[in-house]
Each structure stands twice: as structure tokens, then as C-alpha cells.
């Protein structure tokens, strides 16, 4: 009996820090997502064998992994942790105008992302001496079928999963008074989940802008449409901006000055256009009625500090392990 009594505090501590909370917090959902991400990464390493029918670096193999990752890592935790319509994961429909603005905003976001990507590519090569490849990559599509598969698996489906988990469900786990914390946490987890060293700055800009869209458009479909148009703009307009191909450069000296000459005007033009969208969306947000701001659900949302416990250490351990393995090139 004495031993059982001594074990009760330990079990209580484990349940408090790692057990499924009665009212879902953002930390537990992120912990679950990080552990599944680690499992999918292990599968990615296993399927890297070139003897497989569809290796991970082929268009079909990479597409299958991206779809699997979206379903297992993003859609499954969002559905499992959500209370359904009660959480308002999808948000509210606020009109076609805001969705069109969100869709178009992906173009200036692309104009900001590529310069940031080029800068980070140069810094990575300058400091690290070698390119760090992203986890999921494949050869450029050479047929209409491969292009359609790439658009579906590398754009539309991941955009839906990202919007659903990060800017849908995870957004609802923060009170309306904790929006700053929501921006920081969601953007940080979004960057960690993407597992791409070279795109860190671009991912930060994307995460912040999508959080902004979620707060102004009041639904996850705004970020979803923005992510789609951003990727499509880059894919269908390859000659618009010069993007460094890390698969071709060997050292930072191979990066010509042309990349930076084209990147600076693009970055500033993108920022000017983004400011225009901010002005438009701010005006819209001021005009919407109070019911859809989210403050009426604050009493049912856990406090921000409810997720600051040992589960975050497990989350960080999972992501740190992944990023170190990627840096070491284990998945290659």
C-alpha cells in the first residue's frame, strides 16, 4: 500500500504534463503533432532506398509522403483534438471579398519570400559551407501529369492541412486577449514543422502573414487561399524572380549578384503591396460585428500558460532531433 501511495504523485505529474487535458490546450496538440512528424520523418528515411519502386525523391514517392504527412501530422491531430463545430476551427464566413483579397495577397508574399530565401541560402552556404536540403524534394516535373500531381500534393493538400491545423484549430486555442502569444507560438511551430533550414526567414514571414489573415478574415480559408496562390505564383511564373537553386550551387561564391539585384526591388515592392492589403483588411475588421471576433468564446478556451509544462520539452526534443538529423544529412 505504501508503494502505491508513493506512485500516485508521479502518475499525477505524468498525467498533468502529458495526459490528454479535459479542455484541449495548444501545447498538447503540438506535442502530438511533433511526435507524428518524427514518425513520418523516420518513414521518409526508410523510403530513401533507390531500390524502391517509388523512392522518396521521385515525384510519385515525394507526393505520396507529402499527402501522408498532411493527413497524419496535421489533419488527424486537428480532428482528434477539436470539439467539432464548437471550436469554430473553420472560422466564420465573412464574404467573398476578403477571400479574394487573401488569394491575391499570396503574390506579394511570394515577392517577399524569394528574397528572404535567397538571403538565407547565401548565409547557410557562407556559414555552413554546404547546402542543407529540405526533407521533401523531388526532380522538376517533366509532363503535364507530373505538374498536376505536384500542384496537388505539394500545394493544395499541404495548404489545406497547414490552414486547418495552424490557422484553424491551433488559433482557436488562444484567447482573443492572447493574440500576440498566438502569433509567436503558431509561427514558431509552423517553422519547426516545415523542417527547412534555407526557408527559415521566408517561413517566419509566411507564418506571421497567415496569422494576420486569420485575425482579420476570421476563418482558415483566407490563409489557405493565400498559401495556394503564393506557391502557384512561384511555380507558374518562374522567370519573374531569380531564386537560388541550392541543388546546383556548391559554395556561396557560386551565387551571382544578379540574385540580390532582383531580390531587393522585389522585397520592397512586396512590402508596399502588403501594406496596402493590411490597410484594406484592417478597415474590414473594424467594420465586422463583435460576435465574430472570438471574444465570446474566451471563457471556454484554456489560459495561455496551461500549455507551459513538460509536454513542451518533449515537443522541443522531437523537433531538435529532427533538425539535427537534417543538418547531418541523415535522410539522404
* Burial of 250: CB neighbours in 10 Å, binned 0-12, 13-18, 19+: exposed
Tens place of pLDDT per residue across the chain (332 aa): 445 555 568 788 788 788 888 889 999 999 999 999 999 999 888 887 767 778 888 888 889 999 999 999 999 999 999 987 778 889 888 889 899 999 999 999 999 999 999 889 888 888 877 788 888 887 778 788 888 888 999 999 999 999 999 999 999 999 988 999 999 999 999 999 999 989 999 999 999 999 999 999 999 999 999 999 999 988 877 666 778 888 888 777 777 777 777 788 889 999 999 999 999 898 877 766 545 556 667 777 888 888 888 899 999 999 999 999 998 888 76
4 domain-assigned: no
Burial 204-242 (b: 16+ CB within 10 A, else e): ebbbebbbbbbbbbbbbbbbbbbbbbbbbbbeeeeeebb
Residues in CB range of 229: below 8 A, 6 or more apart: 103, 104, 105, 106, 107, 110
Residue 91 in domain: yes
In a domain, 113, yes or no: yes
Residue 2 domain flag: no
Whether 13 is in a domain gets the answer: no
Whether residue 136 is contained in a domain is answered as yes
Please give the Cα distance from 247 to 33 (Å, whole number).
Answer: 29
State the pTM of this model. 0.91
Answer yes or no: is 143 within a domain: yes
Number of independent structural domains in the chain: 1
Which residues are registered as beta bridge partners of 219? 91
Q: Note whether residue 151 is domain-resident.
A: yes
Domain extent, residue 215, equals 21-328
Amino acid at each position: 500500500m505504501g508503494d502505491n501511495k508513493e506512485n500516485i504523485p508521479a502518475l499525477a505529474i505524468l498525467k498533468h504534463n502529458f495526459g490528454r487535458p479535459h479542455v484541449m490546450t495548444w501545447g498538447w496538440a503540438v506535442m502530438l503533432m511533433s511526435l507524428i512528424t518524427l514518425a513520418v520523418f523516420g518513414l521518409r528515411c526508410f523510403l530513401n532506398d533507390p531500390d524502391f519502386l517509388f523512392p522518396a525523391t521521385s515525384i510519385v514517392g515525394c507526393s505520396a509522403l507529402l499527402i501522408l504527412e498532411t493527413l497524419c501530422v496535421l489533419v488527424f491531430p486537428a480532428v482528434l483534438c477539436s470539439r467539432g463545430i464548437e471550436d469554430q476551427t473553420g472560422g466564420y464566413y465573412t464574404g467573398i471579398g476578403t477571400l479574394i483579397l487573401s488569394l491575391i495577397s499570396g503574390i506579394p508574399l511570394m515577392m517577399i519570400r524569394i528574397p528572404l530565401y535567397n538571403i538565407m541560402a547565401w548565409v547557410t552556404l557562407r556559414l555552413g559551407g554546404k547546402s542543407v536540403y529540405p526533407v521533401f524534394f523531388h526532380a522538376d516535373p517533366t509532363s503535364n501529369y507530373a505538374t498536376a500531381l505536384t500542384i496537388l500534393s505539394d500545394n493544395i493538400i499541404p495548404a489545406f492541412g497547414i490552414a486547418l491545423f495552424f490557422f484553424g484549430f491551433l488559433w482557436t486555442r488562444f484567447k482573443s486577449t492572447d493574440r500576440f502569444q498566438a502569433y509567436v507560438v503558431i509561427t514558431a511551430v509552423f517553422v519547426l514543422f516545415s523542417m527547412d533550414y534555407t526557408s527559415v526567414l521566408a517561413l517566419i514571414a509566411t507564418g506571421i502573414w497567415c496569422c494576420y489573415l486569420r485575425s482579420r478574415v476570421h476563418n482558415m480559408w483566407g490563409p489557405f487561399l493565400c498559401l495556394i496562390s503564393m506557391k502557384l505564383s512561384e511555380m507558374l511564373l518562374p522567370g519573374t524572380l531569380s531564386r537560388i537553386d541550392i541543388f546546383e550551387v556548391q559554395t556561396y561564391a557560386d551565387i551571382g549578384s544578379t540574385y540580390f539585384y532582383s531580390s531587393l526591388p522585389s522585397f520592397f515592392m512586396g512590402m508596399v503591396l502588403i501594406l496596402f492589403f493590411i490597410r484594406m483588411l484592417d478597415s474590414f475588421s473594424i467594420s465586422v460585428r463583435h460576435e465574430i471576433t472570438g471574444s465570446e468564446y474566451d471563457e471556454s478556451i484554456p489560459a495561455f500558460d496551461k500549455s507551459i509544462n513538460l509536454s513542451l520539452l518533449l515537443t522541443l526534443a522531437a523537433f531538435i532531433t529532427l533538425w539535427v538529423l537534417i543538418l547531418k544529412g541523415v535522410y539522404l
